[in-house]
Amino acid sequence: EVQLVESGGGLAQPGGSLRLSCAASGFIFSGYVMNWVRQAPGKGLEWISYIGSAGTDIYYRDSVKGRFTVSRDNAKNSLYLQMNSLRDEDTAVYYCVRGNNGYDPWGQGTLVTVSS
Amino acid sequence: QSVLTQPPSVSGAPGQRVTISCTGSSSNIGADYDVHWYQQVPGTAPKLLIYGNNNRPSGVPDRFSGSKSGTSASLAITGLQAEDEADYYCQSYDSSLSGSVFGGGTKVTVL
- Checking if the pLDDT of A1 tops 90, the result is yes
Peptide bond into A14 cis (omega under 30): no
pLDDT in tens, B33-57: 999 999 999 999 999 999 999 999 9
Would you call A101 and B51 a contact, using CB atoms and an 8 Å cutoff? yes
Would you call B48 and A103 a contact, using CB atoms and an 8 Å cutoff? yes
Element (H, E) at A11: strand A10-12
Beta bridge partners, B47, equal B39
Distance from CA of A48 to the nearest CA of B (A): 8
pLDDT of residue A102: 95
Would you call B99 and A47 a contact, using CB atoms and an 8 Å cutoff? yes
Give B57's contacts in chain A (Cβ within 8 Å): 102, 104
Give B103's contacts in chain A (Cβ within 8 Å): 44
Measured CA to CA, the distance from residue A15 to residue B81 in angstroms comes to 46
Give the burial class of B39: count Cβ atoms within 10 A of its Cβ; 0-12 exposed, 13-18 middle, 19 or more buried: buried
**A39 near A95, Cβ under 8 Å?**
yes
pLDDT in tens, B85-101: 999 999 999 999 999 99
Give B107's contacts in chain A (Cβ within 8 Å): none
pLDDT of residue B1: 84
Question: What does R_g of chain B's alpha carbons equal in angstroms?
Answer: 13
Site from A3, A47, A70, A94 to mutate, B interface, most B CB atoms within 10 angstroms: A47
Give the burial class of B26: count Cβ atoms within 10 A of its Cβ; 0-12 exposed, 13-18 middle, 19 or more buried: exposed
Would you call B99 and A50 a contact, using CB atoms and an 8 Å cutoff? yes
pLDDT band at A25 (very low <50, low <70, confident <90, very high): very high
pLDDT of residue A100: 87
- Identify the DSSP state of B51: B
- Checking if the pLDDT of A98 tops 90, the result is yes
